[in-house]
C-alpha cells in the first residue's frame, strides 16, 4: 500500500505539482461541458494535512502547491434550512436544486416537494449527463441530483429514480452514465445472479432494477473490473450503469486494483465516454448534444473523517487530487469546459496539531496499511475472546497494519476496549491511536458548520470569486449551462417521494437531527 501511495504521489507531483498554473484561454463558445466535483466532508484543514504530508515525505519546498491550491477562487458557506450544520443530502440538494432544504432531504424543498435539479434540466436541454462516486450511487450526494425522496435512507426508491423507473420526465433515462457502488439496491430481494444480476440485495421487494435498466432503456450494466476495462469510448455505448461494489467502494488505502477502478480511472473513463458520445450525431439526426454535465464525488474522504482515521482520510484526498488533475488535463484540451469544485461540508473538525506542542508528525501516517474500517471488521468478531483479541492487536494490528512497533499498553488497551463496543467506537479507537502519535486532533465524529473551499478552472472561471452560499454554487452550475432547474419542478408534481414501508422516519425528523455523511 505504501509503494502504491508513493508511486501515486510521484506521478502526481511530476505532472501537476507546481506553484501556479495558468488557466486555459477563455473563449465564448456555444458548446459547453460542466464538470462539478464534490469532495465530501473535505475542509481546509484536510487540504493542509495532505499538502504538509506531501511536502514532508517528498522533501518539497514550502511554496509547493497542490492541484487544488492552484484552483482556489473562494469559499462556500454551508448550512441547511433547519441547522447551521448541514448533512450531505441537504448540502447536495443546495447544489442540485439551488435551494436550501432540511437535513436528510434528497432533491426536495424544505416543504418536502420535489425540486428540479440542474442535471435534470441539463438533460431536458439535450446535454448528456453523468454521476460518478466512490459511495453507493444511491447515497446522499449522487442521489440528490437525480432523485426526489423525503429521506436519504429511502435508497430503494432513490435507486428507482436514478434509472428513471416510473419517470415523470423524458422517455429517455435522465442519467446517461453512472459509476460507483451500491449494486445491492438494484437487485430484487431474492437475487438471481445466474441471470447476470448482482449476487446480493438490500431491497425489501422483488423489483429487479438491474434488468429493468437493461430492457427498458438499454443500459449496459457492468459490475467487474474486466467489464470496466472493456468499455471503449469510441463505441459510444450509452447509457451505462457501472456499479463495482454492493455497498460503498473501497477506501483507496484498502482498494484492490484488480477488483475496483479508482476514482481517477472512473473519472477518465466517464469524461472520455461522455465527450465521445456528445461529439457524435444522434442516430439519423445530424445534430449533436450541446455538451455534457457530470458530477464527480470523492465520497469516502468524508467517511474516513467520520471515523477520525487520518491515514485513510489522506489516501482518499490524494486520490481525489489525482482525479482533479485528470479533469484539469481534460479542460486544457477542451476550452469549452468549466470545472467547479467544492465540498458539501467539513467532517471531523480536524485540527493540525494540539496543545501543548506546536508540531505534527506526517511520517506517522506513512506505514499505515489498512483503514480503521478494515481493521475493525477483522477484530470486532474476536471481542468475546479478549486474550486472543489482545494478541491479534499486539502482533498484527499494531506492527503490520498501523506500522507501530513500540505500542504502549494504553494504546493496546484502547483498541481492545473499542473492539468490544460499537463499530464507531472501534474505528475511533484505532484512528485516535494514529492521530495522537501524529499530533492530529478531531473535535467530532460528525460534521461541522465551517466554510469550505471553492475551486474553479476553465471557461468562465474568472467570473467565480469570493464567498458563496451553497445555493449560489448551484445557481452557478445552472447559469453556465443556461438551464433552469425550476422549469423541471412542475413536471415532478406527481413524483413518488416516500418509500413504501419505510416507516415514516422522514416526517419524524427533528430540526438539526444528525445525518451520517
Per-residue pLDDT tens listing for the chain (517 residues): 545 555 455 444 443 444 333 444 444 446 799 999 999 999 999 999 999 999 999 999 999 999 999 999 999 999 999 999 999 999 999 999 999 999 999 999 999 999 999 999 999 999 999 999 999 999 999 999 999 999 999 999 999 999 999 876 767 899 999 999 999 999 999 877 766 667 789 999 999 999 999 999 999 999 999 999 999 988 878 999 999 999 999 999 999 999 999 999 999 999 999 999 998 876 555 567 899 999 999 999 999 999 999 999 999 999 999 999 999 999 999 999 999 999 999 999 999 999 999 999 999 999 999 999 999 999 999 999 999 999 999 999 999 999 999 999 999 999 999 999 999 999 999 999 999 999 999 999 999 999 999 999 999 999 999 999 999 999 999 999 999 999 999 999 988 999 988 864 443 433 344 456 7
Query: Is 351 in contact with 440 (CB distance < 8 Å)?
Result: yes
Which one from 83, 88, 109, 262 is the annotated catalytic residue?
Answer: 88
User: pLDDT at position 282, please?
Assistant: 61
pTM of the model: 0.92
User: pLDDT at position 29, please?
Assistant: 40
Q: How many CB atoms lie within 10 A of CB 504?
A: 9
The radius of gyration of the chain's CA atoms, rounded to the nearest angstrom, is: 22
Q: Mutual orientation of helices 44-58 and 2-16 as an angle, nearest 10°?
A: 100
Q: CA 487 to CA 143: how far, in whole Å?
A: 20
Query: Is 278 in contact with 289 (CB distance < 8 Å)?
Result: yes
Helix (H) or strand (E) holding 134: strand 128-136
Query: Which cell goes with 136?
Result: 453507493
Q: CA 67 to CA 62: how far, in whole Å?
A: 15
User: pLDDT at position 241, please?
Assistant: 97
Query: Which cell goes with 293?
Result: 454535465
Q: CA 49 to CA 47: how far, in whole Å?
A: 5
88 tagged catalytic:
yes
Q: CA 515 to CA 143: how far, in whole Å?
A: 15
User: pLDDT at position 501, please?
Assistant: 84
Respond yes or no on whether the N-terminal peptide bond of residue 239 is cis (omega within 30° of 0). Answer: yes
Q: Which residue has the cell 474505528?
A: 427
Query: Which cell goes with 301?
Result: 474522504
User: pLDDT at position 23, please?
Assistant: 45
DSSP per position, 287-330 = ----EEEEEEEETHHHHHHHTT-HHHHHHHHHHHHHHHHHHHHH
Query: Which cell goes with 401?
Result: 497494519
Q: Which residue has the cell 494478541?
A: 391
User: pLDDT at position 438, please?
Assistant: 98
User: pLDDT at position 169, please?
Assistant: 75
Q: CA 494 to CA 119: how far, in whole Å?
A: 19
For residue 401, the 8-state DSSP code is: I
Amino acid at each position: 500500500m505504501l509503494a502504491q501511495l508513493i508511486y501515486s504521489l510521484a506521478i502526481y507531483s511530476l505532472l501537476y505539482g507546481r506553484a501556479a498554473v495558468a488557466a486555459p484561454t477563455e473563449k465564448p463558445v456555444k458548446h459547453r461541458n460542466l464538470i462539478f466535483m464534490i469532495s465530501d466532508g473535505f475542509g481546509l484543514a484536510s487540504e493542509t494535512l495532505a499538502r504538509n504530508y506531501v511536502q514532508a515525505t517528498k522533501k518539497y519546498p514550502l511554496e509547493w502547491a497542490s492541484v487544488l491550491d492552484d484552483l482556489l477562487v473562494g469559499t462556500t458557506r454551508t448550512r441547511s434550512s433547519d441547522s447551521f450544520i448541514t448533512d450531505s443530502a441537504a448540502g447536495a440538494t443546495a447544489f442540485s436544486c439551488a435551494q436550501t432544504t432540511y437535513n436528510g432531504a434528497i432533491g426536495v424543498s424544505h416543504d418536502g416537494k420535489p425540486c428540479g435539479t440542474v442535471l435534470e434540466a441539463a438533460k431536458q436541454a439535450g446535454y448528456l449527463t453523468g454521476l460518478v462516486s466512490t459511495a453507493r450511487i444511491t447515497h446522499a450526494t449522487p442521489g440528490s441530483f437525480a432523485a426526489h425522496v423525503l429521506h436519504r435512507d429511502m435508497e430503494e426508491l432513490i435507486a428507482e429514480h436514478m434509472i428513471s423507473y416510473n419517470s415523470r420526465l423524458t422517455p429517455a433515462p435522465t442519467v446517461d452514465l453512472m459509476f460507483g457502488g451500491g449494486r445491492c439496491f438494484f437487485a430484487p430481494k431474492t437475487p438471481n445472479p445466474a441471470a447476470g444480476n448482482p449476487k446480493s440485495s438490500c431491497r425489501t421487494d422483488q423489483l429487479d432494477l438491474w434488468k429493468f435498466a437493461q430492457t427498458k432503456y438499454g443500459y449496459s450494466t457492468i459490475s467487474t473490473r474486466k467489464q470496466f476495462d472493456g468499455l471503449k469510448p469510441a463505441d459510444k455505448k450509452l447509457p451505462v450503469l457501472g456499479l463495482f461494489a454492493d455497498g460503498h467502494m473501497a477506501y483507496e488505502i484498502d482498494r484492490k486494483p484488480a477488483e475496483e477502478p479508482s476514482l481517477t480511472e472512473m473519472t477518465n473513463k466517464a469524461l472520455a465516454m461522455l465527450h465521445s458520445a456528445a461529439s457524435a450525431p444522434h442516430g439519423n439526426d445530424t445534430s449533436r448534444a450541446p455538451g455534457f454535465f457530470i458530477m464527480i464525488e470523492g465520497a469516502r474522504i468524508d467517511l474516513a473523517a467520520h471515523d477520525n482515521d487520518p491515514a485513510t482520510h489522506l489516501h482518499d484526498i490524494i486520490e481525489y487530487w489525482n482525479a482533479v488533475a485528470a479533469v484539469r488535463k481534460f479542460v486544457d484540451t477542451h476550452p469549452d469546459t468549466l470545472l467547479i469544485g467544492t465540498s458539501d461540508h467539513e467532517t471531523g473538525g480536524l485540527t493540525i496539531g494540539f496543545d501543548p506542542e506546536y508540531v505534527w508528525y506526517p511520517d506517522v501516517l506513512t506505514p499505515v496499511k489498512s483503514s480503521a474500517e478494515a481493521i475493525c471488521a477483522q477484530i470486532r468478531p474476536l471481542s468475546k475472546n479478549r486474550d486472543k483479541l489482545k494478541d491479534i492487536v499486539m502482533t498484527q494490528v499494531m506492527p503490520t497494519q498501523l506500522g507501530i512497533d513500540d505500542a504502549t499498553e494504553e494504546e493496546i488497551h484502547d483498541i481492545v476496549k473499542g473492539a468490544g463496543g460499537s463499530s464507531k467506537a472501534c474505528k475511533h479507537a484505532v484512528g485516535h491511536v494514529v492521530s495522537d502519535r501524529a499530533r492530529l486532533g478531531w473535535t467530532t465524529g460528525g460534521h461541522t458548520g465551517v466554510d469550505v473551499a471553492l475551486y474553479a478552472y476553465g471557461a468562465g472561471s474568472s467570473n467565480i470569486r469570493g464567498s458563496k452560499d451553497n445555493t449560489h454554487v448551484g445557481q452557478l452550475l445552472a447559469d453556465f449551462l443556461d438551464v433552469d432547474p425550476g422549469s423541471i419542478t412542475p413536471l415532478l408534481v406527481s413524483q413518488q417521494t416516500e418509500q413504501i414501508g419505510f416507516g415514516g422516519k422522514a416526517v419524524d425528523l427533528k430540526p438539526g437531527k444528525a445525518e451520517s455523511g
